[in-house]
């Protein structure tokens, strides 16, 4: 589905990610783990087109999208749940969803909106509320719902559990498990490693912008010594 | 040297003092002011009124400076409350307020201003020397401020106010100081102008003069004293240099402003490093 | 009676300011640029509108051509000037914008002459509308009505259409809006086009009111426009509308009551300074 080949990117000439080789299989949930500043968010942002590539390629369904503008990437089926939710804070819940489905035809977006409301009934109750005034958990639901509105093939999630109560994390993970049944591919960046290992199929561990280990989550769990050295136990 | 040249040199010197004074607020302290002409006007009116009342110019000038500096202090207090774009607009409003009040004030001559301001008694060469002396003083102060620790504090406020505060730099103190010194020097420039022109009208001290000063600072290179001096010289002599353009001068002036912002936003001060980059090894 | 007259002219001017400066609000919301050259689009609209009206005898044709001219010029200013300096510190686009204003104003002087253009057959000149003891200048009604209608259309678009919602999302988070398929560049052109069109209409209305358009007519709104967007709270449309009304009414009463001591611009300045000292982040809700 998504492939990074010898990929480097960074800000203002300084590399945040160097020579990364990753493959994200269709239908799988792949976790990117690693300490702060390892380059996880930069990798996601590069896939969304917001970090300048400095070498290598990004392939999506076999097509080179390394230099495509962000607008195009949403149209080919990539959506993001950004770090810290980043809702359109002045807009209502429903308006956030409408923007999420902006690249779909109107009728399809309407249908998708009902899907999101049935996935998160809480959002349906709050549909006319200004999104900036939602609770943290509701905001994360809305951020996920907004991304799902675009009917993506690939969903990028940056810090699902950050700042959320454990119960809310459960709600979000359960929702993701449900949407995965339709074959959605997910890339998850997460600080909460044990949570991530429990749901991921495959794991890449990043440190200082490089991939230091990868494998199925079972393999990574078995290899605890190396893993702990890089990530630490949470 | 003819009287015409002397007069041109005086005017250029006055504009250097004025532009450098604005640079102390904008360049060294990062506080955008779009109403600087008001303080120039305060200096001009105080000096003109006192001279007309029989006070020698050399005594009137410092009084004009003092009053302009005090007015600057008041606006400085406003700058503690509002910032960035809001401050730019507040200073803009101060500029309009000044002109609006002077225009309607019968004591200050209203729309017709003050004419027949007596001569300083120093003669044309003496006046030019006085201006030159003020230019040297202002430029020296500006260089001194930007080099020594006060300048360091100014610039750290302009770069990042919160960080400066955590380092124990009292930003309020320095902002007030910057406005006070900058406006006092603008008042000095205004006083020199009143003495130079011997006839002042409120329209002179309006928005376009404030913008001209800001343009001198930015075209010269915001924060660089040498650049701002060059900017002031260039824009003051602009009508003389481009006399051949005749009726199209303002058109070219506008285009020049746009061109500099598009292609050389660091102003004239950015040119040496650009030349070095071209000349240097690749 | 006197105070009612002041209120009427204040509201009429407030509506006019709102329409004329909406473009500044839209541009500031999207790009954080103090687009002072917008005042020149107001003048351009007035010149083109009056010229075509005089030549063709049709006000509607004049208005349409004026709108087209202002829209094209507004989009050109974005494309040629602002697009390449968006990442510079704010004073760079501000001074570039001032340069454009100076350039265009002098251009108008050269093309149309120092005296400007007079409206030849002005249907509104000295026309009054009388109800009982009241007599209202018809142009005030047209100004207020035109402004309210165009504001209502804009508000409806922004709140109820998909594209309008996408526009507001772009104001809120431009990078992220792009990730949902919103073409940010198109949104910018739309903002420049809509704002310039409103400025052109306002320009024509003011020309009809004064029976005249001069190269410096735009100065009526140049700095007041900046004041309005700041008072309105950084690109907030409702805030800008309220700020315009407040400014119009404050000016009207200020001239009526204190016109002997200060002029119109100074009254607006006092209102502005007083408001900013009380609300340092403007009347509208400040964005984070």
Residues 6+ apart with CB under 8 A from B118: B51, B52, B54, B198
Does the pLDDT of residue C285 top 60, yes or no? no
Give tens-digit pLDDT for C21-44.
888 989 988 888 889 999 999 999
Q: Is the per-residue pLDDT at B69 higher than 90?
A: yes
Q: Nearest residue on chain B to C269, judged by CA atoms?
A: B93
Beta carbons of C243 and C231 less than 8 angstroms apart: yes
**Residue A233 phi, psi dihedral angles, 5° rounding:** -100, 135
Interface of A with C (CB under 8 A): 48-50, 69-71, 73-75, 79-80, 82, 86, 88-91, 95-96, 98-103, 106, 146, 149-150
Domain ranges of chain C: 2-286
- Which residues are A130's β-sheet partners? A92
Q: How far is C32 from chain A (nearest CA, A)?
A: 17
B251–C103 CB contact, under 8 Å: yes
Q: How far apart are CA A214 and CA A229, in angstroms?
A: 14
- The 10 Å Cβ neighbour count of residue C175 is 15
User: pLDDT tens digits, residue range B247-278?
Assistant: 888 888 889 889 988 988 888 887 887 777 77
CB nearest C179 (choices: A48, A89, A95): A48
Touching check for B239 and chain C: CB below 8 Å?
no
SS3 B221: coil
Tens-of-pLDDT digits for all 234 residues of chain A?
899 999 999 887 788 888 999 999 999 999 998 888 888 999 999 999 888 899 899 999 999 999 998 888 888 999 999 998 899 988 999 999 999 999 999 999 999 999 999 999 999 999 999 999 999 999 999 999 999 999 999 999 999 888 888 899 999 999 999 999 888 999 999 888 888 888 999 999 988 888 888 888 888 888 777 777 776 654
> Mean pLDDT for chain A?
90
- The neighbours of chain C, by the rule of 3 or more Cβ pairs under 8 Å, are A, B
The CATH number of C2-286, from 1.10.3470, 3.30.1380, 1.10.287, 3.30.70, is 1.10.3470
Cα B249-B39-B221 angle, rounded to 5 deg? 55
User: Is A88 close to C183, i.e. CB distance below 8 A?
Assistant: no
- Tokens 């105070």 found at: C3
Return the residue of A nearest to C173 by Cα: A88
Mean pLDDT across C74-97:
90
Q: What is the ipTM of this complex?
A: 0.88
The predicted structure's pLDDT at residue C288: 35
Q: How confident is the model at residue C286 (pLDDT cuts 50, 70, 90)?
A: very low
Asked whether the beta carbons of C107 and B251 are under 8 A apart, the reply is yes
The C-alpha atoms of residue A157 and residue A164 are separated, in whole angstroms, by 14
Which pLDDT tens digit goes with each residue over B152-166? 666 666 767 766 666
Half-sphere exposure of B89 (CA within 13 A, CB side): 34
pLDDT in tens, B102-155: 998 888 888 888 988 888 878 878 888 999 999 999 999 999 888 875 666 666
- The string of DSSP codes covering C184-210 is HHHHHHHHHHHHHHHHHHHHHHHHHHH
CB contact under 8 A, B254 and C99: yes
Which of helix, strand or coil describes residue A90? coil
Give whole-number Cα distances, B158 to B31, B146, B269, in Å.
7, 12, 18
Q: Give the CA radius of gyration of chain B.
A: 19
- Residue A103 is nearest to which of C165, C175, C181, comparing CB atoms? C181
Interface residue C178 vs chain A (CB under 8 A): yes
| 3-class secondary structure, C158 | helix
> Nearest CA to A217 among A183, A193, A181?
A193
Is C175's CB within 8 Å of A96's CB? no
C212 Cβ partners below 8 Å, 6+ apart?
A: C116, C117, C118, C119
């Amino acid at each position: 589905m998504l492939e990074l080949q010898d990929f480097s990117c960074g800000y203002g000439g300084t590399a945040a990610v160097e020579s990364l080789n990753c493959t994200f299989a269709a239908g799988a949930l792949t976790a990117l783990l690693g300490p702060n500043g390892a380059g996880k968010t930069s990798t996601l942002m590069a896939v969304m087109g917001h970090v300048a590539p400095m070498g290598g390629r990004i392939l999506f369904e076999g097509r080179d999208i390394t230099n495509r503008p962000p607008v195009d990437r949403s149209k080919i089926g990539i959506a993001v749940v950004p770090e810290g939710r980043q809702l359109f804070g002045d807009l209502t819940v429903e308006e956030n969803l409408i923007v999420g489905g902006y690249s779909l035809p109107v009728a399809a977006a309407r249908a998708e909106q009902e899907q999101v409301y049935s996935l998160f009934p809480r959002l349906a109750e709050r549909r006319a509320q200004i999104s900036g005034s939602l609770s943290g958990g509701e905001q994360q639901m809305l951020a996920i719902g907004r991304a799902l509105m675009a009917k993506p093939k690939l969903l990028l999630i940056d810090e699902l559990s950050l700042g959320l109560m454990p119960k809310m994390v459960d709600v979000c993970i359960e929702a993701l498990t449900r949407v995965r049944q339709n074959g959605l591919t997910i890339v998850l960046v997460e600080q909460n490693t044990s949570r991530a290992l429990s749901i991921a199929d495959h794991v890449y561990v990043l440190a200082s912008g490089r991939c230091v280990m990868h494998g199925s989550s079972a393999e990574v769990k078995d290899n605890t010594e190396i893993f702990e050295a890089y990530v630490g136990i949470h | 040297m003819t009287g015409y040249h002397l007069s041109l040199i005086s005017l250029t010197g006055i504009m250097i003092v004025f532009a450098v004074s604005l640079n102390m607020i904008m360049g060294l302290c990062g506080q955008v002011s779009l109403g600087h002409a008001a303080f120039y006007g305060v200096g001009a009116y105080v000096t003109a009124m006192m001279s007309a009342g029989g006070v020698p110019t050399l005594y009137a000038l410092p009084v004009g400076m003092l009053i302009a500096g005090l007015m600057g202090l008041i606006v400085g207090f406003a700058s503690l409350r509002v910032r960035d774009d809001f401050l730019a607009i507040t200073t803009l409003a101060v500029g309009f307020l000044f002109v609006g009040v002077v225009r309607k004030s019968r004591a200050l001559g209203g729309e017709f201003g003050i004419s027949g301001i007596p001569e300083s008694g120093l003669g044309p060469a003496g006046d030019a020397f006085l201006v030159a002396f003020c230019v040297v003083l202002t430029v020296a102060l500006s260089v001194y401020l930007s080099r020594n620790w006060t300048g360091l504090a100014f610039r750290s406020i302009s770069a990042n106010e919160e960080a400066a505060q955590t380092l124990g730099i009292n930003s309020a103190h320095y902002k007030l100081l910057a406005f006070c010194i900058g406006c006092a020097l603008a008042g000095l420039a205004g006083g020199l102008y009143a003495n130079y022109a011997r006839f002042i009208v409120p329209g002179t001290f309006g928005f376009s003069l404030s913008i001209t000063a800001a343009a001198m600072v930015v075209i010269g290179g915001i924060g660089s004293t040498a650049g701002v001096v060059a900017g002031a010289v260039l824009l003051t002599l602009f009508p003389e240099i481009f006399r051949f353009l005749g009726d199209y001068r303002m058109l070219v002036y506008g285009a020049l402003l746009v061109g500099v912002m598009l292609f050389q936003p660091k102003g004239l001060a950015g040119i040496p490093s650009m030349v070095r980059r071209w000349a240097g090894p690749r | 009676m006197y105070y009612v007259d002041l209120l009427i002219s204040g509201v009429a001017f407030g509506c006019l300011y709102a329409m004329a400066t909406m473009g500044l609000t839209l541009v500031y919301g999207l790009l954080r640029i103090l687009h002072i050259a917008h005042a020149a689009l107001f003048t351009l609209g007035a010149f083109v509108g009056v010229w075509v009206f005089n030549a063709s005898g049709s006000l509607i044709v004049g208005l349409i051509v004026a709108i087209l001219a202002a829209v094209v010029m507004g989009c050109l200013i974005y494309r040629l000037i602002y697009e390449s300096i968006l990442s510079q510190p704010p004073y760079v686009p501000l001074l570039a914008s001032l340069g454009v204003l100076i350039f265009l104003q002098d251009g108008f002087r050269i093309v149309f002459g120092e005296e400007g253009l007079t409206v030849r057959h002005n249907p509104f000149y000295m026309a009054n509308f009388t109800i009982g003891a009241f007599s209202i200048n018809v142009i005030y009604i047209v100004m207020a009505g035109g402004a309210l209608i165009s504001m209502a259309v804009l508000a409806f678009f922004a709140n109820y259409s998909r594209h309008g919602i996408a526009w507001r999302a772009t104001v809120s988070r431009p990078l992220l809006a792009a990730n949902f398929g919103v073409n940010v560049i198109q949104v910018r052109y739309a903002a420049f086009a809509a704002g310039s069109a409103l400025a052109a209409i306002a320009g024509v209305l003011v020309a009809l009111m004064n029976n005249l358009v001069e190269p410096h007519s735009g100065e009526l709104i140049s700095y007041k426009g900046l004041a309005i967007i700041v008072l309105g709270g950084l690109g907030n449309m409702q805030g800008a509308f309220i700020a315009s009304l407040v400014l119009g009414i404050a000016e009207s009463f200020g001239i009526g009551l204190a016109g002997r001591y200060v002029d119109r611009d100074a009254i607006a300045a006092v209102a502005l300074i007083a408001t900013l000292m009380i609300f340092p982040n403007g009347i509208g809700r400040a964005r984070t």
